[in-house]
Structure 1
Amino acid sequence: MEISHAEGSYIYDANNKAYLDFVAGVSACTLGHKHPKVVTALKTQIDSYLHVMVYGEYIQKPAVELTKLLAKHLPKSLEKTYLTNSGTEAIEGALKLAKRATGRSQIIAAKKAYHGNTMGSMSVMGFEERKQVFRPLVPDVSFIAFNNEADIQHITNKTAAVILETIQGGAGFIEPTNNYLQKVATRCKEVGALLILDEIQPGFGRTGKLFGFENYNCIPDILVTGKGLGGGMPIGAFTASGKLMDLLQDNPKLGHITTFGGHPVIAAAALATLKEVTESNLITQTLEKEALFRKHLVHPLITEIRGKGLMLAAMTPSADITNQVILRSQEAGLILFWLLFEPKAIRITPPLTISNQEIIKGCGIIIAILNSIETN
């Protein structure tokens, strides 16, 4: 469909048909579409200056204020942030930092993991079908099963870092269980490896906490964020201690550089987004809205609802049923989407600003479509 405009929880096509958005640009539009505070921040910054120099050469207030506010809301060990153009670029920076800090090369990732689509990020993707034609990729990458405690022993003193999604996204919104992340973190400390947590999807209020790891008794050594931070603008970031991040300054100098990272206009939008998320009731409302989804999405063809907060996946018995629901929902004016590696999942990741009435309306469309599906 061709887009005309978007506002709040709705996207409008070229024929001015309204579509209720249950996807939010794949978890990116935290405050919905064209949020007034984000738009104001963008316009104000545009009137001052756009790109002026490669990131880090000049002091640019939007980026400084954004990273200071991030540090204020993160544990003390996560104090210094490097801004990038996207989540996948932030993953690249995090992997480089881990190798630089440890002097080791082995990276351990999870099966069915997704961290982006550049070469380094693809190397830690746990889904061979999607990367086999692009080999050779970055060497010395091993894979463990998410939530499998026996596999934790594969983390050794040869491991530079373990990289995990706080909640596995493409795999079907799989949450860590039985203090899994905490156990991985403990093992990493035992062997001198670093733990990288990918919060590109769970971050910025989507799970009922500002960051997903706050739900699971685990603080990473390196935190990667993106998507929802930008308020609809492209951004990524990786955050670690000052001691770790300072390693990128020497041996070699300019260990990680970018032209457009920390772009003042995008940083202004991200700052407005982060302020609104942290100064409003949106985070606490997220869990209330999750409960509303679970209340209204009850049907024999919904086998379970995975995830937390407004990062939900409604599971059906088959990929065919899921496809019917997603495609027919769009015809009915509701936007749903798929997950990368789990064909039976219906993605439900609306803006945090979605209203209770809009949730009930969208759920009604889903239930009506499920009621019309004939199964043997």
Structure 2
Amino acid sequence: MAHREGFFKYQAQTTPHPLAMEVANAEGSYIYDTTGKKYLDFVAGVSACSLGHRHPKVIRAIKEQLDQYLHVMVYGEYIQKSAVELTTLLAKHLSPSLQKTYLTNSGTEAIEGALKLARRATGRSQIIAAKLAYHGNTMGALSVMGYEERKQVFRPLIPEIEFLEFNNEDDLDIITSKTAAVILETIQGGAGFIMPTNDYLKKVKQRCQQVGAKLILDEIQPGFGRTGELFGFQHYDIVPDILVMGKGMGGGLPIGAFTASEAMMDLLMANPKLGHITTFGGNPVIAAAALATLKEITETNLIPATLTKEKLFRSLLIHPLIKEVRGKGLMLAMLTPSAEIATEVVLQCQEKELILFWLLFENKAVRITPPLTISEDEIKEGCAIILEVLNKIQEKTT
């Protein structure tokens, strides 16, 4: 049976019309299909492949770990070098109040752990999230998703969830002494790469401190250098109580994590014991890939270079059909006049061997989240394709 037939017949789909490119191999900023076409990747596995595809240092780390051992014991029981070195290096790059990290299999699992930890630490149950928020699709993460259309058929969800409007300071009174935690994306991803404004995150943190609630920041997309800092919150002179990460930290392998103070994280050890458990979290091969990724990002100029590359994108992406370019660093969203135009851009660019993608809730946006390792020449090449496609769309509509 052909792979294409098997893909549609036996592999569960997430939409009626997947892009269905059949991948042969990938290297650097490019993905190659089975017909021999070479696609420039402006999506990086939806922000997951921070160092591009098959980065040599990540591959080397994986192979070295493969020669030592794979899974040996459930998370947290055995001392495994790659996981210890990864969490130690993370602590060195974070504030003294973010020192202990729990490794998980994905970002959404890390969100679940963060929500549980906030409830355990405060003894409260109410969680406040943002409208148009996206934190994953497991039941807890789905409960704090601020988009009813994606949630309604799965109700009832977790109770005692309230929603505020991101960047609306008038909503801060919703945060009270009943609140266990406020969970926010540092930059709202699915909503269209909405940036916090007017010291909004600081004001949320101050309100949380006033009422004894915890602030959880979801850095699953901005994290690991994509915005010009290792984590997006580092632009805003605040520190969350619980930090959640995923996607770009694994070098292309599945991983997530949540980080908090030692005192908070130790609450998961007792009363009850096994307060949060996972079999494969901290997998040694994946931890080795994440460690190599973190070292490469923090020991090179990749983080500051994202801001230089952002400027290049903004200088090139000028067109009557580009209404705005939102975001920071290499977490960018190109806003078009309509959902139909955004879809045309994605599909026509794929025909011209450039990979773009959509955002979850903002249907007029086109995602541009290339590997941090993308070159300036590759940026110019991809933007030229985008402009060529936009010109054709404009000609057709005038």
Query: For 1:107 and 1:65, how far apart are their aligned partners in 2?
Result: 33
Which of 234, 254, 263 is matched with 2:274 structurally? 254
SS of equivalent residue, structure 1 residue 300? coil
Instruction: State the Cα RMSD in Å.
Output: 0.5
**TM-score of the aligned structures, taking structure 2 as reference length:** 0.94
What one-letter code is carried by the residue in structure 2 that aligns with 1:91?
Answer: I
Question: Partner residue of 1:267?
Answer: 287
Query: For 1:281 and 1:8, how far apart are their aligned partners in 2?
Result: 17
What one-letter code is carried by the residue in structure 2 that aligns with 1:347?
Answer: R
Question: Partner residue of 2:78?
Answer: 58
What one-letter code is carried by the residue in structure 2 that aligns with 1:375?
Answer: T
SS of equivalent residue, structure 1 residue 273? helix
Q: Map 1:28-39; keep pairs closer than 5 Å.
A: 28-39=48-59
Q: Map 1:169-318; keep pairs closer than 5 Å.
A: 169-318=189-338
Query: For 1:261 and 1:369, how far apart are their aligned partners in 2?
Result: 43
What one-letter code is carried by the residue in structure 1 that aligns with 2:244?
Answer: V
Question: Partner residue of 2:14?
Answer: none
User: Which runs of 5 or more residues in structure 1 are unaligned?
Assistant: none
Question: Partner residue of 1:323?
Answer: 343
Whether 2:202 is the aligned partner of 1:161: answer: no
Whether 2:397 is the aligned partner of 1:375: answer: yes
Query: For 1:348 and 1:359, how far apart are their aligned partners in 2?
Result: 10
Question: Partner residue of 1:109?
Answer: 129
Query: For 1:22 and 1:228, how far apart are their aligned partners in 2?
Result: 14
- Deviation (angstroms), 1:375: 2.4
Query: For 1:211 and 1:98, how far apart are their aligned partners in 2?
Result: 21
- Deviation (angstroms), 1:216: 1.3
What one-letter code is carried by the residue in structure 2 that aligns with 1:210?
Answer: L
Whether 2:336 is the aligned partner of 1:336: answer: no
Whether 2:89 is the aligned partner of 1:69: answer: yes
Query: For 1:161 and 1:63, how far apart are their aligned partners in 2?
Result: 28
Which of 24, 29, 48 is matched with 2:68 structurally? 48
Whether 2:21 is the aligned partner of 1:7: answer: no
1:145-179 deviation line (CA, Å, top 9, x unaligned) = 00000001100000000000000000000000000
What one-letter code is carried by the residue in structure 1 that aligns with 2:29?
Answer: S
Percentage identity across aligned positions? 75
**TM-score of the aligned structures, taking structure 1 as reference length:** 1.00
- Runs of 4+ residues deviating >3 angstroms: none
Query: For 1:67 and 1:294, how far apart are their aligned partners in 2?
Result: 35
Query: For 1:136 and 1:48, how far apart are their aligned partners in 2?
Result: 45
Which of 154, 161, 171 is matched with 1:141 structurally? 161
Query: For 1:137 and 1:177, how far apart are their aligned partners in 2?
Result: 31
1:111-149 deviation line (CA, Å, top 9, x unaligned) = 000000000000000000001000111110000000000
1:332-373 deviation line (CA, Å, top 9, x unaligned) = 000000000000000000000000000000000000000011
- Deviation (angstroms), 1:217: 1.7
1:87-109 deviation line (CA, Å, top 9, x unaligned) = 00000000000000000000000
1:318-340 deviation line (CA, Å, top 9, x unaligned) = 01110100000000000000000
